[in-house]
Amino acid sequence: MRLATWNVNSVRSRVGRVVDWLTREDVDVLAMQEIKCTEAQFPFAEFEDAGYRVVLHGLNQWNGVAIASRYELDDVAMQFDGQPGFLKGAEGPDQPIEARAIGATTNGIRVWSIYAPNGRALGDPHYDYKLDWFAALQGSMTEWMASNADTPLMVAGDYNVAPLPEDVGDPTIIEGVSTHVSPPEREAFQALQAAGLADVVRPLIPEGYTYWDYKQLRFPRNEGMRIDFVLGSKPFADRVTGAAIHRDERKGDAPSDHVPVTVDIDTELEDDDRPMIF
DNA sequence: ATGACATCCATAGGATGA
């Protein structure tokens, strides 16, 4: 079984590329981020014609997350427990929850597609929101794992954190100045791992970026960042048999600024047991 | 080389991204 995560940077402007890639790479489950559309605007037909059903959380033109799967999608959750909200210029506890997380169970795997807040600048309210958001994600997933110890859990997406120095090749990202590399952000990412969510890609693919800015020839110069990750609980991580960063998806016409990351896991289900949609 | 990013929406310029 092959699972993937991809910040697509607008699913409407890239649906052809996304579905072609899913088919070509024989992907069973895709966690998407930055779909940038509402449910009414989502291009369901292209996914369904390729054999995928889709659940999504999209409130407006910002953010937006989705899960596409060849299997049924059950127990859909549009946010995690304790997820904080944000509204620029507003303060306090009543800020709206953004479309940055969706969870569903598919083929026995609990899958979350997450899009962490950017942070914008050190000291910006959005930066505090980002740290609060990670703390709540950790709390929610920790609680879930405690009561679902045997169910594989995948938390995949755009974490907007470059955990290690070698994850940063963009010269505009400077430690001590920029978001994505500050100690609190990196500690938040490490804390997820300490809580039992392992980065299942790093051991297999130790090098490589997942994002390159559109500006300043960042991709031709290979000045990117590694900020997209697949984390998994022990029952998930124990089943991982392979992983890949699909760098070629940054090439060609109208690419996203992020590339997809895939993880292969051993599954007891045979292909014959897959529910056929069409 | 005075530029050489791309998405969205109140289709013009602002917000957002990282």
Domains of chain A as residue ranges with CATH: 2-273 (3.60.10.10)
pLDDT at A169: 97
- Residues A95, A119: Cα–Cα separation, whole Å: 16
Give A15 CA → B8 C1' in Å: 16
Per-residue pLDDT band at A46 (split at 50, 70, 90) = very high
Cα–Cα distance for residue pair A224/A210, rounded to 1 Å: 7
Q: For position A4, what pLDDT does the model report?
A: 98
Q: Which nucleotide is nearest to A218 (CA to C1')?
A: B5
| pLDDT single digits (tens) A135-173 | 999 999 999 999 999 999 999 999 999 999 999 999 999
Separation in Å: B9 C1' and A12 CA: 14
Separation between the CA of A150 and the C1’ of B7 (whole angstroms): 40
Q: For tokens 């014959």, name the residue.
A: A272
Say what percent of chain A tops pLDDT 70: 96
Q: Is the pLDDT of residue A126 over 60?
A: yes
List strands edge to edge, sheet with A65-69.
A53-57, A65-69, A29-33, A2-7, A261-265, A240-245
Residues in contact with strand B, defined as Cβ under 7 Å from any of its atoms: A 7, 9-10, 12-14, 34, 36-37, 41, 61-63, 88, 117-118, 120, 126, 158, 160, 172-173, 179-180, 211, 213-217, 225, 227, 254, 257-258
Residue A278 binned pLDDT confidence (cut-offs 50, 70, 90): very low
The secondary structure of residue A239, as a DSSP letter, is: T
Sign of the dihedral defined by the CA atoms of residues A190, A191, A193, A197, in that order: negative
Say how many CA atoms lie within 13 Å of A233 toward its Cβ. Answer: 20
What's the pLDDT at A180?
98
pLDDT of A92 reads: 84
Mean pLDDT of A48-68: 97
pLDDT given at position A118: 97
